[in-house]
């Protein structure tokens, strides 16, 4: 009901109360909460995640720091007993409208994560999987079909598909490559499983579309750099340099 919505609800880029649409497979998924509450805003600017991200985000820079910007954040919530899955996917499959691929995802656990609660899993080595330089195709836009990605894997990739749980504790974070295949199973436990995600881009990433990059965000024309109030500079190594 509208009267029950947060006053800032209209600032979300996306808000899915239950992305799967199934009552026994509930997944709340939202983008843009950094614009709505101070806590989620401040997480995006935490040096504990922004500084190491500036070292990890650009493989061409060989561990050196580069300036980074916010791409967007996300919020995931799986209720007890009926929490839904997040199907196996590569993040960059959803982000090909931004180039080059210099992105990084930080997943922050708001509850302890175990396989029983539907915690995050990774497929080791899958960050090398691509199709002629492009990510794997999107096989399920609603995230509900856990194993759908396997239909597009090669025999070699299928043989290497051996997920491992992240085992994240509340308040801990993982950093992953934009091609790392990851997902999470259903929450069948008695506890909620919540997480926020911060997605960064290297400064200089540009729009590869003539459509708005996010709902409600002014158009950045194709070929133009992503910058401004919606894609703020989060960290620049020059800020930490001695005068």
pLDDT, tens digit, 9 for 90 and up, residues 103-147: 999 999 999 999 999 999 999 999 999 999 999 999 988 888 999
Domain boundaries, the chain: 26-220
Beta bridge partners of 76: 29, 195
What is the average pLDDT across 82-107? 97
In this structure, the number of other CB atoms found within 10 A of the CB of residue 18 comes to 17
Query: Of 190 and 1, which is predicted with more confidence?
Result: 190
The half-sphere exposure of 239 on its side-chain side, counting CA atoms within 13 A, is: 12
pLDDT tens digits, 21-32: 777 789 999 999
Can you tell me the distance from the alpha carbon of 153 to that of 127, in angstroms, rounded to the nearest whole number? Answer: 13
C-alpha span between 210 and 207 (Å, rounded): 8
CATH number listed for the domain at residues 26-220: 2.60.120.620
**Could you read off the pLDDT of 147-174 as tens digits, one per residue?**
999 999 999 999 999 999 999 999 999 9
pLDDT for 1 equals: 47
pLDDT at 3: 55
């Amino acid at each position: 009901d509208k009267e029950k919505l947060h006053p800032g609800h209209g600032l979300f880029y996306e808000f899915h109360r239950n992305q799967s649409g199934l009552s026994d497979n509930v997944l709340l998924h939202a983008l843009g909460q950094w614009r709505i509450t101070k806590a989620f805003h401040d997480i995006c600017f935490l040096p504990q995640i922004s500084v190491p991200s500036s070292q990890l985000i650009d493989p061409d820079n060989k561990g050196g720091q580069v300036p980074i910007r916010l791409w967007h954040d996300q919020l995931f919530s799986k209720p007890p007993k009926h929490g839904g899955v997040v199907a196996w996917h590569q993040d960059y499959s959803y982000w090909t409208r931004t180039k080059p691929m210099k992105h990084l995802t930080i997943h922050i656990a708001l509850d302890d994560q175990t396989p029983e609660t539907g915690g995050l899993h990774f497929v080791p080595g899958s960050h090398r999987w691509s199709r002629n330089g492009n990510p794997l195709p999107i096989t399920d836009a609603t995230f509900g079909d856990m194993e759908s990605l396997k239909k597009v894997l090669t025999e070699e990739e299928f043989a290497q598909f051996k997920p491992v749980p992240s085992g994240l504790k509340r308040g801990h974070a993982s950093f992953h490559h934009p091609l790392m295949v990851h997902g999470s199973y259903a929450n069948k436990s008695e506890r909620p499983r919540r997480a926020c995600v911060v997605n960064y881009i290297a400064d200089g990433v540009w729009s590869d579309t003539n459509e708005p990059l996010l709902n409600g965000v002014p158009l950045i024309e194709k070929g133009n750099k992503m910058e401004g109030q919606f894609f703020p500079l989060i960290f620049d190594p020059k800020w930490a340099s001695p005068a």
